Amino acid sequence: MDELTPAELIALVSLLDDPDLEVKNHVKDKIVSLGYGIIPFLEQRWESSFNPELQKEIEELVHDLQFSLLKDRLQDWKDSEDRDLLTGLWIINTYQYPDLEFEKLNAEMHQIYFEVWTSFKNDLQPYDQIRIINNVLFNTLRFSANTKNFHSPGNSMLSTVLDTKKGNPISLCAIYLLVAKKLGLPVYGVNLPNLFVLTYKSSDITFYINAFNKGLIFSRQDIYNYLEHLKIEPREEFFEPCSYLEIILRSLRNLAHSFEKLGEASKVAEIKELIAILSDQ
């Protein structure tokens, strides 16, 4: 951005609705080459413009720049050592809310953790510890399954789930998991067909938790019954903890499915690009 004066930038942006396609494409490439730092300037130009054509061009450019930033962040997340779950969920969240700050999500999650922590006792048995988390999340804070709008893209946006207190199996499990991890509990995600659940898995005891059903506790046998009901062959991965990478991938697949249901083909294509980054495709 340093190489152009404000007047030159204004002149450049004003060429975005040039009737000559070659000029327009050259201008777009030039603006994109200036990097993410140009976004606030573009947003400013959008606000001060009364030309709907120019506004539309600016909107598309801003979206392209923001999407490119999201892809870079996702690649960095994938290459990071710990693949922090909250960071991964925040990156997905910026697809629809590009200005969302990580700190805001982190503060809201910390507040939920604090609510649970004040009721928590470390010397309790695992089942009782889980019942305390269930009570705070599903009774006090009133988180619940979004059965009414199950396929809404908002179910994959952590900020929306925290605002509405409604989510899909994976977003509710993610909130539960983040809280349980911070309490030092051996709780992990489990990738079941058509359902995402959690497992409490220590050297002494293993059981499962369905956050989509108010933290219902169930057993390994229940998973066998569930798979049998779906006529699906049991596989080891249906019983074992999955990685944060798999949680983020599944969240993205849910999001793609939501946009498919809404007939938003361009968004589906973009989410598939994100899935490809994480899938080494």
- Res 3 pLDDT > 80: no
What pTM did the predictor assign? Answer: 0.91
**Span 67-94, pLDDT tens digits:** 999 999 999 999 999 999 999 999 999 9
| Residue 74 near residue 278 (C-beta atoms within 8 A) | yes
Match 């990071």 to its residue by tokens.
Answer: 80
Segment 244-248 mean pLDDT? 97
Partner residues linked to 199 by β-bridges: 188, 208
What is the distance between the terminal CA atoms of the chain, rounded to a whole angstrom?
33
- Res 27 pLDDT > 90: no
**For 50-64, 134-148, 263-277, which range has the lowest pLDDT when averaged over its residues?**
50-64
Judged by DSSP in three states, 213 sits in: helix
Residue 211 CA to residue 73 CA, distance in Å, equals 29
| Residue 198 near residue 211 (C-beta atoms within 8 A) | yes
**Span 178-214, pLDDT tens digits:** 999 999 999 999 999 999 999 999 999 999 999 999 9
Which two tokens mark 264? 């938003």
